[in-house]
């Protein structure tokens, strides 16, 4: 017996400072939660897991407008490398030359960097 | 056991059908596909009848198929039978998810003919804990159709009559169990025969690869949302900021003309203006495999004031976005935006763009969860 109740499993307590419409900022999940979302977080494993992994309700941004005004980090790095001649094809070529598998996962890396940049850009908001 | 090809190149959906178009020796039985559990069943003139030899039906007559559906779809069935010339007081049953060819499952769909003298006829349809009365017009040959659907994985059951997929009753907390047989029956112990039946059909609603075979339940992949859903406005910014966190319960309307979830929310902004926002969620049926959650569309209407003039595509029947998920069930709609120099001048939601022109734009998102 772990002694952990479902209520305690949600990282948000629900006793944070209340905002409009009884919402509160959950600093652990970086999302403004409603009371219903708090209930889902406490009582439903799949929702708690989604918020813990950053894909729960309210955590996803949906369009260009919701992204930072500047270029996304991954996109910016890709553009910078491209400018100095480090393209996906040339990177693969170089790996092959050194006897390494000619793989890149460039798109995945770019997307990961984009997400890191997005997360970083949101950090100041946690003081909300 | 039969498998049917659903679409080009895709795996098949299991089903079993019997049109009873055969003659059996002396009409003494129903053939190897059936087990006469209660009553005396047979085939006359290419139709299935019960207690045809002595007149008058057998009370609580039951017949169950010997055919079993695949283990993978146990407890998930679409089931139908056609009934000829029903009389006032007749009672018919569909038995989904029978645990064997001789044992019924925990659920039954009941169809009671309350009045066959009127046009349309009046029927009472029940499944699980739900009961509704339905007006039914037999076809030109005097047939009506009884239909039910059960979903063991989500613990749901629906029943209705005649054609289409509009449910009369929907119990969203009724587990049919994991049976793989099915059957039908009646409780008509008066009259010439217990009943005259035709065109029995049972099929799995989904194939084991997730292919939708029969669209009984509105689905988000394997998840079937219940009769109540929660709609939440989030990420509201700018002139829509006061809507942030507004939440309402979308309710399924148990009416054959309203097959959708709907409700409204009232928002009063710092400008003192109260706007009612009406929501209506519909389930459409396309491309279940490729677009997670995108078989849902949401209509949003603002009263008074058309706050959606610049967002008509979203507001009229916006599809859930690609960020929607089925596990966990989280439909995402939006963004709903106020754009232009002053946003939408007709919209006074949260903020009056004519009196306080400082804030001109804003947006919000909508999430729908269980």
**Residue A50 sits in which domain range?**
1-60
* Continuous segment of H or E residues that includes residue A116: helix A106-122
A24 shares a domain with A12: yes
Mutate which of A45, A49, A60 to disrupt the B interface (most B C-beta within 10 Å)? Answer: A60
* pLDDT tens digits, one per residue of A42-81: 999 999 999 999 999 999 754 443 444 445 666 667 666 7
* Cβ within 8 Å, pair B234-A34: yes
A81 shares a domain with A48: no
Q: How far is CA B266 from the centre of its chain?
A: 29
* Number of domains chain A is built from: 2
Which residues of chain A make contact with B244, given a CB cutoff of 8 A?
19-21, 23, 32
Residue A113 has pLDDT above 90, yes or no: no
Peptide bond before residue B328 is cis, with ω within 30 degrees of 0: yes
Establish if A13 belongs to a structural domain.
yes
CA distance B232 to B212: 29
Q: For residue B18, give how far its alpha carbon lies from the nearest alpha carbon of chain A (Å).
A: 42
* Cβ within 8 Å, pair A32-B325: no
DSSP single-letter state for residue B316 = H
* pLDDT tens digits, one per residue of B301-324: 988 877 876 566 678 888 888 889
Which residues of chain B make contact with A21, given a CB cutoff of 8 A?
244-247
Give the nearest chain A residue to B229 (CA atoms): A36
B265 touches A at CB < 8 Å? no
* Cβ within 8 Å, pair B328-A32: no
Backbone angles phi, psi at B34, to 5 degrees: -130, 150
pLDDT of residue A67: 45
Domain edge (last residue) among A19, A41, A60: A60
* pLDDT tens digits, one per residue of B65-83: 999 999 999 999 999 999 9
Whether the pTM exceeds 0.80: the reply is no
* Domains of chain B listed by start with CATH number: 2-203 (2.60.120.560), 228-369 (no CATH)
Establish if A79 belongs to a structural domain.
yes
Domain edge (last residue) among A43, A60, A77: A60
What is the four-CA torsion angle of B68, B71, B77, B79, rounded to 10 degrees?
-10
pLDDT of residue A60: 72
Give the nearest chain A residue to B333 (CA atoms): A62
A104 shares a domain with A67: yes
Which residues of chain A make contact with B232, given a CB cutoff of 8 A?
34, 36-37, 57-58
Buried b (16+ CB within 10 A) or exposed e, B291-315: ebbbbbbbbbebeebebbebbeebb
CA distance B5 to B245: 46
CB-nearest to A63 from B335, B367, B370 is B335
Q: Which two tokens stand for residue B104?
A: 């019924």
- Cross-strand bridge partners of residue B126: B110, B131
A46 touches B at CB < 8 Å? yes
The CA-atom distances, in angstroms, between B63 and each of B58, B82, B157, B203, B252 are 12, 15, 21, 17, 34
Residue A2 has pLDDT above 60, yes or no: no
Which residues of chain B make contact with A37, given a CB cutoff of 8 A?
232, 369
Averaged over successive runs of 10 residues, the pLDDT of chain B (370 residues) comes to 46 89 72 93 90 79 96 94 94 97 97 94 94 91 94 92 74 95 92 84 84 78 88 92 95 70 93 92 65 78 77 78 90 84 77 77 92
Establish if A128 belongs to a structural domain.
no
DSSP single-letter state for residue A41 = H
């Amino acid at each position: 017996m772990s002694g952990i109740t479902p209520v305690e499993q949600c990282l948000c307590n629900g006793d944070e400072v209340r905002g409009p419409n009884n919402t509160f900022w959950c600093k652990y999940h970086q999302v403004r939660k409603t009371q219903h979302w708090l209930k889902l977080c406490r009582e439903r494993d799949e929702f708690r897991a989604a918020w813990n992994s950053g894909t729960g309700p309210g955590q996803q941004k949906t369009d260009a407008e919701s992204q930072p005004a500047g270029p996304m980090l991954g996109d910016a790095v890709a553009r910078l490398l491209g400018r100095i001649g480090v393209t996906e094809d040339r990177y693969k070529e170089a790996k092959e030359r050194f006897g390494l598998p000619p793989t890149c996962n460039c798109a995945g890396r770019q997307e990961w960097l984009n997400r890191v940049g997005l997360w970083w850009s949101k950090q100041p908001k946690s003081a909300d | 056991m039969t498998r049917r090809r659903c679409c080009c190149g895709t795996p098949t959906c299991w089903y079993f059908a019997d049109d009873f178009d055969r003659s059996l020796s002396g009409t003494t039985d129903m053939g190897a596909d059936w087990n006469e559990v209660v009553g005396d069943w047979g085939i006359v003139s290419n139709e299935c009848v019960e207690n045809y030899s002595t007149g008058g039906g057998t009370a609580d007559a039951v017949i169950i198929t010997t055919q079993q559906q695949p283990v993978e779809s146990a407890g998930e069935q679409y089931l139908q039978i056609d009934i000829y010339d029903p009389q006032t007081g007749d009672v018919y049953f569909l038995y989904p998810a029978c645990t064997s060819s001789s044992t019924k499952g925990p659920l039954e769909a009941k169809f009671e003919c309350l009045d066959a003298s009127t046009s349309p006829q009046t029927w009472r349809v029940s499944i699980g804990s739900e009961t509704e009365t339905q007006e039914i017009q037999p076809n030109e040959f005097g047939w009506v159709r009884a239909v039910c659907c059960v979903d063991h994985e989500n613990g749901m059951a629906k029943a209705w009559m005649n054609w289409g997929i509009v449910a009369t009753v929907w119990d969203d907390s009724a587990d049919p169990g994991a049976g793989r047989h099915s059957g039908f029956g009646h409780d008509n112990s008066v009259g010439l025969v217990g009943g005259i039946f035709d065109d029995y059909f049972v099929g799995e609603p989904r194939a084991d690869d997730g292919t939708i075979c029969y669209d009984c339940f509105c689905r988000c992949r394997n998840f079937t949302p219940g009769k109540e859903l929660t709609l939440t406005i989030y990420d509201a910014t700018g002139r829509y900021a006061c809507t942030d966190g507004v939440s309402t319960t979308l309710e399924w309307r148990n009416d054959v003309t309203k097959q959708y979830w709907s409700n409204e929310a009232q928002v009063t902004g710092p400008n003192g203006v109260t706007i009612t926002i009406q929501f209506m969620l519909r389930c459409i049926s396309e491309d279940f495999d490729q677009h997670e959650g995108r078989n849902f569309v949401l209509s949003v209407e603002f009263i008074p004031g058309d706050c959606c003039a610049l967002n008509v595509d979203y507001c009229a029947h916006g599809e859930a976005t690609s960020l929607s998920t089925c596990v966990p069930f989280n439909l995402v709609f939006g963004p709903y935006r106020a754009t232009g120099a002053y946003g939408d001048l007709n919209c006074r939601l949260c903020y009056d763009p004519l009196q306080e022109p400082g804030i001109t734009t804003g947006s919000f998102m909508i999430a729908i969860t269980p």
